Structure 1
Amino acid sequence: MIKKISIVAALVVSSIAFSQNTAREKLGNYLDSLMVHHKVMGSFAFADKDQPTFLKVTGFSDVDNQQKANMNTQYRVGSISKTFTAVLVMKAVEDKKLSLNTKLSQFFPEIENADKISIEQLLQHRSGIHNLTDEKEYSAYFEKPQTTQELVRIIKSYKNDFEPGTKFEYSNSNYILLGFIVEKIYKKSYADLIQDKIARPLELTRTEVGGKIDPAKNQAFSYNYENEKYMKSTETDMSIPIGAGNIISTPTELLKFIIGLQNGKLITQKSLKEMKNYVDNYGFGVTKVPFGASWGFGHNGGIDQFRSVLYYFPDLHVAISFITNQSNYNNNDISIKMIQAALGQNFEIPEFKDVAVSTDILKKYEGNYVTKDFPLAIKIFLENGALKAQAMGQGAFSLEAVSENEFKFDMAGIKIKFNPEKNTLDFAQGKNQFTFKKE
C-alpha cells in the first residue's frame, strides 16, 4: 500500500508528432532499455480511443525459476485497489444501503471520533484516522494473517491526527475500514464483492483479491535489484490491506476497469461525478492527474516491491496502465512517455551510464547527517558494497552513482551530492532542497 500519491507532472506537450506506430515502437525500445539496465521490469499497456493498442511485457515473474512474465501474469496492484473499493461504496450508495453522510459509528463506534467521521471523509482521506502503515510496529505483523477485529484494534490504538474534515492526509486505515464496511452491509466477503460487482460485469478473468503469491498460477513475485542480483521481496499478507490494497490484476484488465468505469458500466454517471469531487486533488479513490492542458483521473499504487499506475484522460480518450515487480526508476517518467506515445508524440529515451566509485571513497560518505531544517536524520551506509540512504524510521534505499560524489534514487526523484571536505551532503527532491551536516 503506497503511502503518498504522486501524479503525472504537468508539462508543455511537444508539438512534434510522428506516426503512432513509430511512437509505439519507440516506447517498446524505451521499456526494453529500462529492463536491460535493471531499472524496471513489468507489464505495460495503453488504450487509444478506449481500445487497447499497446502491450509490452519485460522481465521475469519468477526470477529463481527463470519464468518470464506474459500478458496474463497477475501482479499486486497496491493502492489502485482503493478505486475498486470506492466503486463498491458508490454501488452501496446507489443500492441505498448507506449514504456519503453515514457515520463510521454505525459500524465501528469504538474508533475515536467515529460519530463525527462520514463515509465521504473516509473516501477522501479527510477523517483524521492515523495511517497504520506509518508505524514501526507494522513491520512486525505485515506478513502475518490478521482478523478484522485485530486490525480494528490496531487502528483504534492510535490517536487521530486531526479533527475530521479539516485537512487531507493519506491513510490506508481509511480504506481498510471501508473494505470492512462494504462487507458488513452486503454480508459478503470483499473478494466476493469484487467478483460480483466489478469483475463479472466487465468480464475480467485475471482481476481478484490476492493471496499468497503462487507462480504456478502465473502470479509474479516482486524484487529489489542490488549488487547485480534480483532479491525477492517479502510478501504482505493480503488479509491486512483489504480495501486499501489487496487486488491482483494485469494492466490490460485495469484498462478495461477504468474505461468501464468512465463509460457507466459499473456505476451511474452521477456516482462517477461524485467520485471526481476533488478536494486537495483527491476524490473518492481517485486522484486528479494533469497532462498538458488535459486532466485525467486514476490512482497509483505500491505494495512490497510492486509499483502500479492507472490513469484515464476522458478528453484524450487515452488510458495507461502498468505494473512493475522491480523498479529503481521514477514512474512519472514512464507515465508521461506512455501518454505521449499513445498520442503519437515524440519523446527522448534517456541514456544510462554505469559510474563506478571505489569503496574507499564511498566509506568517506558514511555517517548520520542532520539539519535543523528537516525533522529526520539521514543515515548513509555501505551494505554489500552498495551505498544506501535511510531517513530515520523509514526504509533504506540504494543510491546510484552519477559521478564520484553525486548520487540519485530515481524512483523517488532524490538527488544527493556529498561534500566530504565540509562533511555535508546536499539533498534535493523536487522543489525541496536541504544541506545536511555529518554528526
Structure 2
Amino acid sequence: MKNISLSFLLILCIFQQSFAQLNQKLDSIIQTEFSDPHAPGGVFLVSQKGKTLYEKAFGKANIELDFNMVSGNVFEIGSMTKQFTAIAVLILESQGKLSVNDPVSKYIPDYPSGNLITIHHLLTHTSGIKDFTKIKSLQYIAQKEMTPKQMVDFFKNETPDFKPGEKFEYNNAGYVILGYLIELVSGERYEDFIRKNIFEKAGMKNSYYASDRKIIRNRAYGYHQKTDGYVNKTIISFSVPFASGSLMSTVEDMVRWQHALNTGLILDAAHINKAFTAYTLNNGEKFTYGYGWHLKDINGIPSREHGGSIFGFKSMAVYVPSLDLYVIGFSNCDCHSPTQVVKDMAKAVVNAVKK
C-alpha cells in the first residue's frame, strides 16, 4: 500500500509539473501579442473533453473606465458567425424545408444566374458572387439600417468574379444571402431563428445578435489603434454584415456551442458532418472549406478552424476532433490578432497531450 501511495503521489507531481509548464507556455505565447495590461486585451480558453485546461483574460475590457478584462466578457465574433449560419441552414434541411442543392432562384426568383448558384455554393464560398466588402459604395450604406433584401439588392447585379463551382474564394455576400434564405424559409428573423434553435438549445445565455444600442452585460468595448493611441471602434450597422458576421458571444458560450455540435443537441450527426466535409470544385480539385469552417490540420492531425474580424474585434478558434480539443481567443482591438496565437496554443497543447 505504501508503494502504491508513493507511486500515485509521484504521478500526481509529474502531472502537476507538466500542467504548470503548459500554462507557462500558453502564457508566453499569448503575451507575444497581448503584453500591455493597460491596453485593450483578450480572453483565451483551452478545453478538452469538456474540461477547461486553461482560461485567462488579458488587458482592458474598457479603457475609459479602466475595467480589466474577465473571461466572461462578451465580444463581437465577426466571421465566426458563419458557422452558426451554416448550421441554421442544415437545421432547415433536416426539417425538409430546403436542400443545400437547391438553386438560389427557388427562393429569390430574380437573382441573376440564380438557377446556376446553389445553397451549397454559398456555403462553400464557391458561388463567384462579388463580395460586397469589395464594392466601393459600401461606405454609403455602412451605417444605414438595411433589410436582408436591401443588402442582397445592393450587390446582386455586380459582375460575378467567376462561374459557380469554378474556384474557392472567401465571400461574405454568400452568407448574407444565406441569412436572407433562412428568413424566407423559416418565416422568422435570422436573429430569432439563431436564438431559438441554437443559443437556447446549447445553453448559450451570453450570446446575441450584435447591437451597439442594447444593454449587454459584460460587454467588451472595441477599439482601433492610431499613431497617437487607441480610439473607440467605428460604428456600423450590423444589418450590413448580417448573417456573415453580426453575432456576439463569450469563450465559455463557444465551448457550449462546440459541445452542442458534438452531442447532437441541435442537429443530427448526418447533417452536422456535411459542415465538416471537404468538397470539390467543378474540375474535381479538393479545397479545404466545409460549411462555415476551414478544414486544416496540426502536424498532420485534422482540425477545424475559423476566425473573424469586425471593426474593433478579432476572433479565432481551433477544434481538434480526435482529441476533443478546443482552443479559442477573442480580442477587443482589431490591432491585435488572436489568429496565430490560437494556432500556436493549439500546437502546444496537441504536443503536450501526445507526449
Change (3 A) 1:25 1:344: farther
* Number of the residue aligned with 1:151: 151
Question: What is the alpha-carbon distance in structure 2 between the residues aligned to residue 328 and residue 152 of structure 1?
Answer: 30
Matches of residues 247-262 of structure 1 in structure 2 within 5 Å?
A: 247-262=247-262
Instruction: Report if aligned partners of 1:225, 1:326 keep a CA contact under 8 Å in 2.
Output: yes
* Number of the residue aligned with 1:71: 71
Is 1:295 equivalent to 2:302 in the alignment?
Answer: yes
Moved more, 185-194 or 138-147: 138-147
* Number of the residue aligned with 1:265: 265
1:330 deviates by 5.1
Deviations, residues 129-161 of structure 1 (Å, cap 9, x unaligned): 110011222123212211223212112231111
Instruction: Report if aligned partners of 1:213, 1:219 keep a CA contact under 8 Å in 2.
Output: no
Aligned length: 330
The one-letter amino acid of 1:149's match is K
Matches of residues 27-426 of structure 1 in structure 2 within 5 Å?
A: 27-32=26-31, 34-37=33-36, 41-212=41-212, 217-227=217-227, 229-279=229-279, 280-329=287-336, 331-343=338-350, 345=352
Change (3 A) 1:94 1:330: same
Change (3 A) 1:213 1:291: farther
Q: TM-score, normalised by structure 1?
A: 0.70
1:256 deviates by 1.6
The one-letter amino acid of 1:148's match is P
The one-letter amino acid of 1:185's match is V
The one-letter amino acid of 1:338's match is M
CA RMSD of aligned residues (A): 2.3
1:99 deviates by 0.7
* Number of the residue aligned with 1:25: 24
Question: What is the alpha-carbon distance in structure 1 between the residues aligned to residue 249 and residue 216 of structure 2?
Answer: 16
> What's the secondary structure of 1:230's corresponding residue?
strand
Deviations, residues 55-99 of structure 1 (Å, cap 9, x unaligned): 111122221222222222111101111000011011011000001
Instruction: Report if aligned partners of 1:45, 1:251 keep a CA contact under 8 Å in 2.
Output: yes
Instruction: Report if aligned partners of 1:202, 1:265 keep a CA contact under 8 Å in 2.
Output: yes
For structure 2, which runs of at least 5 residues remain unmatched after alignment? 1-16, 280-286
1:224 deviates by 2.2
For structure 1, which runs of at least 5 residues remain unmatched after alignment? 1-17, 347-439
> What's the secondary structure of 1:72's corresponding residue?
coil
More helix by share: 2
> What's the secondary structure of 1:315's corresponding residue?
helix
1:33 deviates by 5.5
Question: What is the alpha-carbon distance in structure 1 between the residues aligned to residue 253 and residue 134 of structure 2?
Answer: 30
> What's the secondary structure of 2:139's corresponding residue?
helix
The one-letter amino acid of 1:252's match is E
Instruction: Report if aligned partners of 1:125, 1:171 keep a CA contact under 8 Å in 2.
Output: yes
> What's the secondary structure of 1:19's corresponding residue?
helix
Question: What is the alpha-carbon distance in structure 2 between the residues aligned to residue 34 and residue 128 of structure 1?
Answer: 35
Instruction: Report if aligned partners of 2:179, 2:243 keep a CA contact under 8 Å in 1.
Output: yes
Instruction: Report if aligned partners of 1:34, 1:41 keep a CA contact under 8 Å in 2.
Output: no
Deviations, residues 292-330 of structure 1 (Å, cap 9, x unaligned): 120111311111131111221011221011110125455
> What's the secondary structure of 1:191's corresponding residue?
helix
Question: What is the alpha-carbon distance in structure 1 between the residues aligned to residue 70 and residue 40 of structure 2?
Answer: 15
The one-letter amino acid of 2:290's match is G
- What's the % identity of the aligned pairs? 24
Question: What is the alpha-carbon distance in structure 1 between the residues aligned to residue 134 and residue 343 of structure 2?
Answer: 29
More strand by share: 1
Question: What is the alpha-carbon distance in structure 2 between the residues aligned to residue 270 and residue 205 of structure 1?
Answer: 27
